[in-house]
């Protein structure tokens, strides 16, 4: 199924593409609907397509022996295997869905050819690469300077729709075993982190989370207080 030119034109990566270029991409693109635990590509494989998550979540996997471990979780609006696809290189990680997901699949070779012909098309791709580097730097600093309990608190706060709400209630977007990979800890450490957060007003039951004291949790996580409305 083709994603459609309107859907493609709305992608930030294609912001500089003309209507004709978007239409050309659409002829070779795909809109895929996948169930959980479906493999997109394996570690070490060259990536011929750029996958962009529209809905659901994809796990980056690492390790070829036995069951590969989840190294990161990629959510809606983000590309999967971005650098390898645009470089035409083998991927250092694999990828598989961890929930039902919808993805736009673009031919990477066509993208590279269009960019070589018109280099200005590369600007949104540069923005994506720099944003990814910035996010990795923030995550690396958090890994080195914050405890797993603080990283979990920050992640949970990021799931609150209304940052001024206190208490706040929401459902975890995926299973806790994937959440451990997202914040960079083992499942055992994640369980201990959730237990430690009970003292900061965090309650969990069957994937439902309640934050009783959002301002206090922000302070514990080392996040700045919200400015008054």
The dihedral over CA atoms of 2, 127, 44, 34, expressed in degrees to the nearest 10, equals: -30
Give the model confidence (pLDDT) of 92-127 as tens digits: 999 999 999 999 999 999 999 999 999 999 999 999
How large a percentage of the chain has pLDDT more than 90? 81
> What are the φ and ψ backbone dihedral angles of 212, each rounded to 5 degrees?
-75, -30
| Order of strands across the sheet that contains 202-205 | 168-171, 208-211, 202-205
**Rounded percentage of the chain residues whose pLDDT exceeds 70:** 97
| 183 vs 13: CA distance, rounded Å | 26
105, part of any domain: yes
- Residue 93 sits in the same domain as residue 198: no
**What pLDDT is attached to residue 63?**
83
Q: In the listed set 141, 173, 208, which residue is the last one of a domain according to the structure?
A: 141
CATH code (residue 198): 1.10.10.10
Residue 109: predicted pLDDT: 95
> Do 32 and 73 sit in the same domain of this protein?
yes
Same domain for 34 and 118? yes
Residue 226 lies in a domain: no
Q: Are 125 and 110 in contact (CB under 8 A)?
A: no
Q: Is the model's pLDDT at 181 over the cut of 80?
A: yes
Q: Encoding tokens for residue 138?
A: 């923030």
Residue 31 lies in a domain: yes
Regarding whether 33 and 66 lie in a shared domain, the answer is yes
Task: Give tens-digit pLDDT for 63-101.
Answer: 866 678 898 999 999 999 999 999 999 999 999 999 999
User: Of residues 164 and 135, which shows the higher confidence score?
Assistant: 135
The pLDDT value recorded for residue 65 is: 64
Average pLDDT, the chain: 93
Contact 53, 103 (CB under 8 A): yes
Domain end, chosen from 81, 108, 141, is at 141
Q: Are residues 124 and 182 in the same domain?
A: no
Same domain, 12 and 121: yes
pLDDT exceeds 60 at position 229: no
Q: Enter the pTM of the model.
A: 0.88
Do 156 and 110 share a structural domain? Answer: no
Average pLDDT over residues 177-198: 93
The average pLDDT across 142-153 equals 92
Alpha carbon separation from 97 to 62, 182, 196 (Å, rounded): 14, 14, 30
Question: Is the pLDDT at 225 greater than 80, yes or no?
Answer: no
């Amino acid at each position: 199924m083709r994603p459609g030119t309107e859907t493609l034109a709305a992608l930030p990566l294609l912001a500089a593409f003309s209507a004709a270029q978007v239409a050309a991409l659409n002829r070779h693109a795909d809109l895929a609907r996948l169930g959980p635990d479906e493999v997109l590509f394996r570690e070490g494989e060259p990536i011929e397509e750029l996958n962009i998550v529209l809905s659901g979540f994809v796990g980056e996997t690492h390790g070829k022996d036995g069951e590969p471990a989840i190294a990161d979780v990629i959510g809606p609006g983000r590309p999967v295997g971005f650098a390898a696809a645009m470089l035409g290189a083998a991927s250092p990680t694999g990828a598989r869905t961890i929930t039902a997901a919808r993805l736009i699949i673009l031919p990477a070779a066509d993208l590279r050819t269009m960019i070589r012909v018109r280099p200005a098309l590369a600007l949104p791709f540069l923005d994506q690469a720099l944003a990814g580097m910035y996010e990795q730097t923030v995550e690396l600093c958090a890994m080195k300077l914050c405890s797993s309990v603080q990283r979990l608190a920050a992640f949970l706060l990021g799931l609150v729709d209304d940052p001024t709400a206190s208490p706040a209630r929401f459902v975890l977007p995926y299973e806790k075993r994937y959440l451990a990979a997202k914040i960079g800890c083992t499942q055992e450490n994640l369980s201990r982190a959730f237990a430690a957060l009970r003292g900061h007003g965090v309650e969990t039951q069957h994937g439902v989370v309640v934050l009783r004291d959002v301002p206090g949790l922000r302070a514990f996580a080392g996040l700045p207080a919200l400015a008054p409305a």
